Structure 1
């Protein structure tokens, strides 16, 4: 029964729309607004990925509807994104555009399985500097990917965006580059100035409409999107065979990881922007997995939650899933009613839209905040960004997390320490032969060696008392270090007493050998006074009381 309830929580319910009577007007307006904003992005991301404008549009429609209905966020808007384009580019270059639908299907299954396995909360462990470094790297790659189109040149053969952008300079025809650069500058200027005229004016749509009208009426010789289908393609199972699945398994896993990370980050940010209700991370993965599967059946791309479009949705008044569904229906209307006009859009105009989008992905204030936080966080931020641009997105996230963990452990190790204390109460003869040590903070693999070095160098004592009552964290390595410390001291003839092993550490201390390494089980104490009394009696028996 509990399993049934758990699965039900991952499925749509009437509760998803309980506020619809109150919010439907705002949802309709928000959906229309996001649809207008999403159109140029869907086309641009499709072209930039190598899969084609049609693929981007299909993804925004099909995945947008499926993710809105099945996802875990009330306001998430899904579709093709810049980060996904960055990953898909090398896949298209290596396996052809036909591989995109297969990768979408395989990645969707992986993301769906992750949601069913309740792995949604894993993204909460990704540090903020890693997220921002990852985002900055993606923004740089998206910008660099548009350089060839902005110059009217052919992209280089390299799968690295920076190298390909540099290689494209060798194919520039300056007679064409003058027009394409002019289009990019015009688009960027309109997108920047439009909100100043009216804050809700969709700058990207206005910019594309203006330059398309000029280039079409003026007969300007620049590459355009070209013919688009006047209807959605019929769903079909992508060509699957074992060899194809094996060759695309690695790329699909990378795409799935990116889809999960980006979607959950977007949903988390959206939940903090307005009172739109909480999001269910596991259900969001299920919804995004189903969205990519559906997109693959229609020949589309893998989908993720899109933070920019989601933010527009929330700011425009979207409060329920209806807004994201309307956004997809607006794009569907474009397919059936306006493909002739859309086919005339210059590719340079889409490049301009993406270049402006890339520059807006990471704010200057955010970069300053990260760089001005701590040296460790700034290093993680820069390393993640550089590796994202230079190598691979998922590798960058992995290395960023490892670097952040390293710095966190190093910082944590500094909070741990071992201090020698004076014995409590009035001094007694022979106290100089008793050493009392207090272990503070965290005793784990990053700090254990320092403990052993500090205590084992002590001389001229007969008894060592180790206080563990102030120990906040203990792992197996730390516990083993204590056991080895006790064994080393006992071999030198020094009696070791342990005081204050906390209840939460008792099982670990016993299993690793801390208790067993003591000379006698009675050498484990809960009260410091009793331990000190035993130490003094031991010193007295050893004949040091008068020394």
Structure 2
């Protein structure tokens, strides 16, 4: 009972989360203000790009940002709307409308919450690096392509594929409106590039949006703007749990939940490597992100995830505790309450420019070169994941990437297995040529068993076979079954099989599958090679006497 209570308690907030806040509240507040400034244009842009609207992006950054900070498993994680989530949400909203967003938030949040409660947080560690980077590259390309219709002011058409929509929007763009939109995008890009030279922490995206908005106002340029925003958070509303709607949105909700869990845990893991605030709790992080998405949906927001870029800014700005991420959310709330009129006049083309630069920053050329030069299998996994992400679907891309990476890993593991014939120990004696010693090593599993043991079964001119299994590091049921069948086949040919040195961790499996019972006698199982060799020679001596 007490153990179960402790397990539940470990997933909930505690006073220990803020133990260091007494000493670090100043840098935490400064970091929170810095991240809030960085997050404002991104929240607006991601909200617009998803189709849910700028208000939804802000609500997500505020509500989900605070809830995830309080309940999550990382002391420095910053959560909110992200580009990857936008990529998944955009086709869902296009197909089912913004009215389905609250239910998707609720369902996906419950799934992520359940994953945390079931202690599934560490599963993300099984995703290979090339899959993660290919996934990131694909997302970056999609985010960039999604901004093309806004940047040109053209019609994206009916396709949910970002590349097709981008091409359609360029072909249908009308001039001179498209020229003004592209000019604003160029201004934003130039300001953001210039800000990088001023200082790495300079809020270039916010400055770029301010410059673009000022130009629109001074020159009277007619372009699309964000529009009216409410001066506060909406009233929370529980979505209607219509069975038909739940059944329709269950699949999309699972995809959203999978992405939310993967991206949040990856972000938390990155944060733990660049911050000296200690490890993160993966299971609690899932609980926090699940609650954040649920809360966000109640207020009209989007599903949330941990945001790697904003989390990195938070850490580099000196954040030590959750106070920083909470401050970031509260700052955005102040902006909504006080500055909604100003925010409403921001041109959409400026937001598109911000996301285009953000997408380009997501692509680390050094990382791409490293993976492509690492090995052929890593390069294939990386490129395949990226291509499937852009052309098909994010979740399919991860699944396919995992399957292909798993295939290459198993193939490499199979190559480590081997069967080597050895000489008998001690001084050679007459009849030793009728004894074959085979050393099994490496991994004997379903991907390698048949090929590895072909050499043993093809041995000719021998009467006794000694199988050395002490160097066998991995043995699964298929490998054990193949050994069982091999022993049976050799015994039927009149060849006596002796086994030397089954590892203690393999004995149970060998007994259950029938390896040991397939031996002619139970005393054909040995702990050392000298004893096995002596027994084999005695067999040969007896057979020669009979002859």
Give the SS at the match of 1:515: coil
CA distance in 2 between partners of 1:51 and 1:147 (Å): 18
Give the SS at the match of 2:176: helix
Q: Which residue of 1 aligns with 2:530?
A: 529
How far 1:21 moved relative to its partner? Answer: 1.4
User: Any idea what the Cα deviations from partners look like across 1:30-79, whole Å, max 9, x if unmatched?
Assistant: 10010010001000000000011110000000000000000000000000
Is 2:517 the partner of 1:516?
A: yes
User: Any idea what the Cα deviations from partners look like across 1:86-121, whole Å, max 9, x if unmatched?
Assistant: 000110111001111110111001100110111100
Give the SS at the match of 2:437: strand
Q: Which residue of 2 aligns with 1:319?
A: 320
Q: TM-score, normalised by structure 1?
A: 0.99
Q: Which residue of 2 aligns with 1:387?
A: 388
Q: TM-score, normalised by structure 2?
A: 0.99
How far 1:540 moved relative to its partner? Answer: 1.4
Give the SS at the match of 1:317: coil
Greater shift after overlay, 416-425 or 147-156?
147-156
CA distance in 2 between partners of 1:79 and 1:101 (Å): 15
How far 1:545 moved relative to its partner? Answer: 10
Across the aligned residues of Structure 1 and Structure 2, the Cα RMSD in angstroms comes to 1.1
Q: Is the 8 A contact 1:430 1:544 kept in 2?
A: no
CA distance in 2 between partners of 1:368 and 1:112 (Å): 37
Q: Which residue of 1 aligns with 2:478?
A: 477
How far 1:186 moved relative to its partner? Answer: 0.8
Q: Is the 8 A contact 2:419 2:453 kept in 1?
A: no
Structure 1 runs, 4 residues or longer, greater than 6 Å off: none
CA distance in 2 between partners of 1:174 and 1:446 (Å): 60
Is 2:445 the partner of 1:440?
A: no
Give the SS at the match of 1:464: strand
Q: Is the 8 A contact 1:156 1:166 kept in 2?
A: no
User: Any idea what the Cα deviations from partners look like across 1:428-458, whole Å, max 9, x if unmatched?
Assistant: 0000000000001111011101133111111
How far 1:487 moved relative to its partner? Answer: 0.6
Give the SS at the match of 2:460: coil
CA distance in 2 between partners of 1:461 and 1:282 (Å): 57
CA distance in 2 between partners of 1:377 and 1:22 (Å): 45
User: Any idea what the Cα deviations from partners look like across 1:381-407, whole Å, max 9, x if unmatched?
Assistant: 111111111111111111111111111
Q: Which residue of 2 aligns with 1:37?
A: 38
Q: Is the 8 A contact 2:153 2:169 kept in 1?
A: no
Give the SS at the match of 2:41: helix
How far 1:543 moved relative to its partner? Answer: 1.4
CA distance in 2 between partners of 1:285 and 1:262 (Å): 11
Which consecutive unaligned segments of at least 5 residues does structure 1 have? none
Q: Which residue of 2 aligns with 1:115?
A: 116
Q: Which residue of 2 aligns with 1:499?
A: 500
Q: Which residue of 2 aligns with 1:222?
A: 223
Give the SS at the match of 1:439: strand
Q: Which residue of 2 aligns with 1:304?
A: 305
CA distance in 2 between partners of 1:527 and 1:545 (Å): 28
Q: Which residue of 2 aligns with 1:413?
A: 414
CA distance in 1 between partners of 2:201 and 2:413 (Å): 47
Q: Which residue of 2 aligns with 1:13?
A: 14
Q: Is the 8 A contact 2:62 2:332 kept in 1?
A: yes
Which consecutive unaligned segments of at least 5 residues does structure 2 have? none
Which runs of structure 2 are paired with 1:349-368 in the superposition (5 Å)? 349-368=350-369
